[in-house]
Structure 1
Amino acid sequence: MAYSAEKLNEEKVFKDPVHRYIHVRDRVIWDLIGTKEFQRLRRIKQLGTTYLTFHGAEHSRFNHSLGVYEIVRRISDDVFLGRPEWNEEDRMLTLCAALLHDLGHGPFSHSFEKVFDLDHEHFTRAIILGNTEVNKVLTRVNADFPQQVADVIAKTSKNKLVVSLISSQIDADRMDYLQRDAYFTGVSYGHFDMERILRVMRPREDQVVIKQSGMHAVEDYIMSRYQMYWQVYFHPVTRSAEVILTKILHRTKDLHEQKYRFKYDPIHFYSLFNGEITLEDYIKLDEAIILYYFQMWQEEEDQILKDLCCRFMDRNLYKYVEFDPAKEYKKLAELSALFKKAGIDPEYYLVVDSSSDLPYDFYRPGEEEERLPIHLLLKNGDIRELSRESEIVDAISGKRRTDHKLYYPADFIADNRKKPTIKKQIRTLLEID
């Protein structure tokens, strides 16, 4: 029997709080889950610093990846099974791409990527195509299979239907993380009728479409996503933790460039600092490693690094005020000057942070990012873009919402033992007196 068709002697089942059970029957999938690169995802939180706001948000990329796999397995084995537009030969490709789509995420994913100019999708492809346990499993399917999986995840595959299952505006990735993140944060916003959406999904040559009768379930899904972004993902307390995390990494990088002698040498960061990180070095990074350094750097001589690490580890986060950088740039310059006079480095302690989201959009010619829209399958067989049929979706299509906040250390500003007059001016400008 070919490896790709080989089944386990007995089905393996993962108990899951979102999908109840995750079923594994295929030898390929079971072997991929057992690789060290996939097991590493247990040590990377799905929501980064969100656990400092919602204490239940301790779930991992491992949990989420299994969830995406399970949704795709149900679609391919139940919903699409026997439909002429669905090629059964694409089943294993779809399952593997779903399982491995987040494989390259680093610790505290997006903050880490910004500071060191990294791209988790690049590392996902590198793990799949490199000298790894994952690559060895995929190559057993056939020599070209790792490249096929990497192409689906990179959205460069010619198989657009499979790509749309993993990455579109209504895909297995989003359907899992919205429900999973809602469950672990304890909020009610991310819940929608996934069972209904799965029942009305239909395969077409280039993407998944939704039967018109399921339009209201899709509207609910889009609004759930909108609420989750503003109530959970962009929560200002979470953003405050991310600001401090980012500043720790920046400070470490700056100190390295200044030839500072660390008490606890950041050996795991050297290749990052030099912009020459290897795949082997990257795979060694996880959040336990990063938090170890943050713990130890609380004893550093550098007062800024020491303070920032203490803040992060003890959850002594920055406070914030609403801020419009376009209208209040003069105030920012004035505050920056006052911070310097007060002996507080504005580079690390006065930070404008912006959040932005586009809840739904359709393809607009000339735009850099092509967003694959959601299409409805009408009763007469025609296909129409969702916002043409839904007034709710039409009302939010293409409307980007942006939010800006100014973060600062309230304890430093309130401490009047040094420079009380200047600090009073700062508090007045921030309107916190």
Structure 2
Amino acid sequence: MGKRFYYFLLCTLTVSFLFGFAFSEKENKKADQNQKVDQCFTCHKEIDNLPKDFSENDIHRHANLSCSSCHGGDPNSDDQDVAMSPSKGFVGVPKRKDIPKFCGKCHSNINIMRVYQPRIATDQVEQYYTSVHGKKLLAGDENVAECSSCHTAHSILPAKDPRSSVYALNVPNTCNKCHGNSSLMKNYNIPVNQLEEYSKSVHGIALLKNKDISAPACNDCHGNHGATPPGLKSISHVCGTCHVSNMEFFNATRMAKAFEEQDFHGCEQCHGNHGVQKPNDEMIGVGKESKCTDCHSEGDKGYNVSKNIYSSLTKLKKEYDTANAKYLEVRQKGMNDVEIGFQLQDAKQALIQSRTLIHTFDSVKVGAKVKEGIEFSNKASMLAQKEIDDYSTRRNGFAIATLAFLVFVIALYFKIKDKEKKAS
């Protein structure tokens, strides 16, 4: 009985092994069939004729899409006539004017994109033809940007990949390939110093120097596939994508309507476009750096409003700075700074809100918020001064106590010496 059992077990294991081996071979053959050699790539590599921008990291290559997926033909044949036969759907290199629709064969097909990138938009080509680039391409101008101008052709990477030409940090330089080309831009009467200005701006420094990818690049203001210069009515809305309160305050004023009537471009009129600098209080008021005096002269209502707003802001800033200096002194001395910190936070918030309220062009509204900030600053200053005074009192008290103790010790010393002398 025992031998029969062992023979049965041995036979079972042998059959299982052979069956598994056969199944594995079958699966390997199936995998080999599914992963046939791409003859397009093989031939072009052998004759050293791969596209100049070819990269093994291309997103399409990683998705197992071959050359024929875009260019057509038969990737399984090593016969050039067969592989590149029109009967096999070979189209070769598309004409520049056809590239958007060429890419759109897949990128505008929601059923195809669901397989590879379910969440990606499928209206990029439609958007492109609403852009300045797209309209000019349709009109026959082949100097304008199309898909491969920004994304490249054979080294396309996801936008979130730091190596990608459309990664946030790389967008300014990608756009500058064309927009920094003076010979190309002269036909459109477009300046070529945008990148230079942007690099020195508050946005450019945040993005390019500080590597803050939340900072706006070219596409955040102009758009991506539907890129176009912001229009007269859209400027404040474009900036308002980030600066929401500023936009809402400005659009609710009479100034917004006046700007439109004068063909002034909202935010850009005071802050500029590509070279936006960090704003400061000197931009309001009537000093040398004032933007208000570009339009308002001494004696008119706008001039006086600007002067009053500046006066209010500088007063709050002075009170806040005074309180903050005392707060730092309290912390240095190791005294209780918790409540002072809370008051200063409220004061700082009031200062920020006061500066935002400048866009209402209403000195009363700004003044009311400034008043709140001054009250918080004064309370913080008062609490800080109390802690500083307490520190001085404690320090003086400690000094007096130390001196008294020292006198006591000296007196005790002499008393002991006197007793020892009498005892001897």
TM over 0.5: no
Instruction: Pick the structure with more helix per residue.
Output: 2
Instruction: Pick the structure with more strand per residue.
Output: 1
Larger RCO (CA under 8 A, 6+ residues apart): 1
The TM-score normalised by the length of structure 2 is 0.24
Larger Rg: 2
